[in-house]
Amino acid sequence: MHCPHCRSADTAVIDSRLSEEGRAVRRRRECTSCQHRFTTFERQELSSLIVVKRDGTREPYSRPKIERGVWIACTKRPVTQAQIDKLLSTLEEKWSANKQEVPSSTIGEDVMRELKTIDQVAYIRFASVHREFKDVEEFKEELGKLFK
């Protein structure tokens, strides 16, 4: 692990603890050259999980890809990285529990449902991007709830 500040390859772990309810290991590291401190996360790789897209094609599951979509919905909202990490880790556990494949529509619906409990505006944005509303009326109804 190179230091992100000076690129030195010589860094030391100064603290190591479980995070995300035991699904990840969080490490505090210190660069031995410039003393810069940074954090790394170690997570179980979900390389076996395959996403089945709407057109029937398949691709390997990519957490960064899902996370980007969630962050776009959360732009300028009071949502933290920790909340999103927890949301994705919980759902990944569900998706990879019994099966090797998960439909992209399931991913969209699950993220949407969890996002609804975190931030209503982010939820509406995410849902509208993923066109999960059945019709315009349903979309208006959800929007209306925000401005009550």
Minimum distance from residue 11 beta carbon to Zn ion (Å): 7
**Which of 13, 18, 34, 72 lies at the binding interface for Zn ion (CB under 5 A)?**
34
Beta bridge partners of 95: none
By CB under 5 A, tell whether 40 contacts Zn ion. Answer: no
Q: Does 3 bind Zn ion (CB under 5 A)?
A: yes
Q: Smallest distance from the beta carbon of 28 to Zn ion, in angstroms?
A: 14
**CA nearest to 67, candidates 119, 106, 26, 111:** 111
Candidate list 1, 6, 13, 18; residue touching Zn ion; CB under 5 A:
6
In this chain, which stretch among 2-10, 46-54, 56-64, 86-94 interacts with Zn ion, using CB under 5 A?
Answer: 2-10
| CB contact set of 40 (below 8 Å; sequence gap of 6+) | 1, 26, 27, 29
The SS3 call for residue 71 is helix
Pick one of 19, 27, 29, 31: the residue that binds Zn ion (CB under 5 A). Answer: 31
Hey, what are 71's tokens?
A: 């962050």
Only segment of 31-39, 72-80, 84-92, 139-147 that touches Zn ion (CB under 5 A): 31-39
Which tokens go with 148?
């009550």
Closest CA to 116 of 79, 67, 61: 79
Residue 37 interacts with Zn ion (CB under 5 A)? no
Q: How many C-beta atoms lie closer than 10 Å to residue 32's C-beta?
A: 12
91 vs 110: CA distance, rounded Å: 7
* Residue 33 interacting with Zn ion (CB under 5 A): yes
- Measured from the CB of residue 29, what is the shortest distance to Zn ion in angstroms? 10
Q: Which of 23, 26, 36, 63 binds Zn ion (CB under 5 A)?
A: 36
